[in-house]
Amino acid sequence: MEKKSKKKDKKDILNSKKGLRNKETNIISYCFMSIFAIIMVYLVIFNEFLAKDILNNPYNSLVDTQEDNVIRGDILASDGTVLATTQVDSEGNQTRVYPLGSVFSHVVGFNNNGRSGLELSENYYLLSKADNVLSQISDDIDGEMYEGDDVYTTLSVTLQKAAYEALGTNKGAVIAMDPTTGKILCMVSYPSYDPNDAVDDYSTWLTYDSDDSVLLNRATQGLYPPGSTFKILTLLAYMEQNSDYEDFTFNCSGSVSISGGTKINCASNTVHGYETLVTAFANSCNSAFATIGVSLTRAEYISLVSRFLFNQSLGVDFTYNESSFSLTTDSSISAVEETAIGQGQTMISPLHNLMIASSVANDGVMLKPYLVDKVVDSNGNTVISYDSEELGIMMSEKQAEYITTCMKQVCKTGTGSAFRNYGVSVAGKTGSAQYGDGSNYHSWFVGFAPADNPKIAICVILEGGFTGVSSAQYVARDVLDAYFGY
C-alpha cells in the first residue's frame, strides 16, 4: 500500500509539473497572440489614420528614399489637364514638370527643395502604389520603379487662367468655389513664381521681404482687415438681436460721433441721407453700421463671430492661417465701432471670407472647401473620392435670403457698380480696408452668382497700391465673365 501511495504521489507531482508547464506555455502563447493582435490593430490604425500625415511630413527623410523607387503621380485639373507630371529620362532620372508654370503655382505647389501646395498635402497618394504589399516587395527586390497615384483636382483651367490674368501684376488673391458643394474652382495668388524654377531659385525666393514673398499663398495664408465685407456679419448680428430689423431706419449725415467713441466717417464723407437696413448695406454706410455695432449685445456679437470660425480651425485639408477677432465684452466704444465696419484688430483670409459669403449663398449652411475630387491609381481604379461636407448651419434660410437681398442691392444700386446691368444677377459686398497709417487701403469683393441660384462664389483681395484696375470687383467680374462665357 505504501509503495502504491508513493507511485501515486510521484504521478501527481509529474502531472502538477506538466500542468504548470502547460499553463506557462499557454501564458506565453496568449502574450504572443496579444502582441500580434496589437501590432495588427496598430497597422490598421497607422494605414487608415496616420500614414498620410507621416508621409506628408516634410521632416520625414524616408520620403526622399521612397521617391527613388516611385514615379510620382500626376496632378490634374477637373477636365484632365495635367498640372504636374514626372518625366523620366533613359537613365532613370526624374524631373518634376509643371506645364502651366506660374498660373497654378501656389495651389499646385512644387516638389523641389521641399514641398508646398497639393504636392505636399497629397504627397501620400502621389507616392502610393496601386498593387498590394507583396507586389510592392517584389518590385523592390527586382529594382523596378512603380507609378504613384494620380490626383484629380476640382480646379478649372479656364477660371484659373482668367483669375491669373485679371489679377495681373497686382499683389493679392482670387479664390472661387461652388457654394453648394465646397469645390474650389480657382485659387490664384500674386506675387507668383514658376515651380519649374524651384530647384534653382528656391534659396533666392527665401530672401525676399515678407511683403514681396512669392512663397506666401495670399488666398489661404494672407491675413487682412476685412473692411466693409465684415458688415455681412454685423448685419446678421443685428438681425438676430432685433426681430424688427426690417423696420430699421437711419439718417446719414456723412459721419457719426457716438458718446465715448471716435468720429466715424463714411467713404469720402458721402452723405447717404435716409436709409433702410437694405440701403445702408448697399451704400456700405459706415455711420449706420458703427451705430448698429454699438447697439449690439457684445457677448452675443462675439459668439456669432466665433460661430463663423474666427480664432479657430477652418477644417480644410490644406495650408492656411486662422482669422483673428479680438473684440471682448470690455472693449471700448471706439473698438466696437471700428470692428462693426471691418476695421480695428480683426484679420481675415480670402479663403475665410469666401466661406462666409458661400454660407449665405447656400441657404445658411457652410461647407468645407476642398481641392481634390478623387485619386486614381495607375490601373485607372478610383482609390478615394471626395464629396461635400458640412461645417455647420451658420444662419437660417430666412436670414440668408434677407442678406442675399441686401447683397443684390449692392450690385444693383450700391457700391458694386461693376455689376450694374450684368448678364446675370450678382449678390456681393465691396470693401475698402485701411491699413498702416490709414492713408492706404486694400480693395475687397465677395459675392456669388446667379444670386437666386448660386453656382459660383468668389472672393478677391487687391493689396494697397494696385494699378490697372479700379477695384477688386472688376477682377471678380472678369472671372465671372469666364465662368458664364461672356
Residues 317 and 425 in one domain: yes
In the prediction, which pLDDT does 17 show?
A: 57
At 129 the pLDDT is 77
As a whole number of angstroms, the distance between CA 329 and CA 339 comes to 13
Q: Are residues 420 and 446 in the same domain?
A: yes
pLDDT at position 386 is 97
Last residue of a domain, one of 56, 71, 98: 56
Burial class (CB in 10 A: 0-12, 13-18, 19+), 329: exposed
Same domain, 234 and 87: no
pLDDT in tens, the chain (486 residues): 555 555 556 556 556 655 656 666 767 766 767 776 666 655 555 455 555 555 555 545 555 556 778 899 999 999 999 999 999 988 888 999 999 999 999 999 999 888 999 999 999 999 987 655 545 555 555 557 789 999 999 999 999 999 999 999 999 999 999 999 999 999 999 999 999 999 999 999 999 998 899 999 999 999 999 999 999 999 999 999 999 999 999 999 999 999 999 999 999 999 999 999 999 999 999 999 999 999 999 999 999 999 999 999 999 999 999 999 999 999 999 999 999 999 999 999 999 999 999 999 999 999 999 999 999 999 999 999 999 999 999 999 999 999 999 999 999 999 999 999 999 999 999 999 999 877 789 999 999 999 999 999 999 999 998 999 999 999 999 999 999 999
Burial of 36 from C-beta contacts in 10 A (0-12 / 13-18 / 19+):
exposed
Do 130 and 181 have their domain in common? no
First to last CA, the chain: 114
Q: Are 175 and 296 in a shared domain?
A: yes
Nearest to 333 by CA among 271, 391, 263, 276: 263
50 and 129 in a single domain? The answer is no
Together in a domain, 180 and 233: yes
Q: Are residues 231 and 344 in the same domain?
A: yes
Mark whether 254 and 372 lie in a shared domain: yes
Residue the block writes with cell 452723405:
271
Nearest 5 degrees, angle CA 431-CA 433-CA 436? 170
- With beta carbons less than 8 A apart as the criterion, state whether 372 and 77 touch: no
Q: Are residues 113 and 235 in the same domain?
A: no
Which region, left, alpha or beta, applies to residue 92 given φ > 0 means left and ψ of -120 to 50 means alpha?
left
Q: Is the dihedral of CA 434, 213, 62, 94 positive or negative?
A: positive
Residue 324: φ, ψ to 5°: -125, 145
CATH label of the domain that carries residue 373: 3.40.710.10
pLDDT score, position 22: 65
Domain count, the chain: 3
Is the same domain home to 186 and 319?
Answer: yes
CB atoms within 10 A of CB 206: 11
Whole-number pLDDT of residue 26: 65
CATH of the domain at 110: 3.90.1310.10
> Does residue 199 lie in a domain region?
no
The predicted structure's pLDDT at residue 244: 97
- For residue 107, what are the domain limits? 63-155
User: Does 279 reside within a domain?
Assistant: yes
Q: How far apart are CA 415 and CA 444, in angstroms?
A: 12
Considering the domain architecture, whether residues 314 and 445 belong to the same structural domain is answered as yes
Please tell me the predicted confidence (pLDDT) of residue 391: 97
Partnered with residue 341 across adjacent β-strands are none
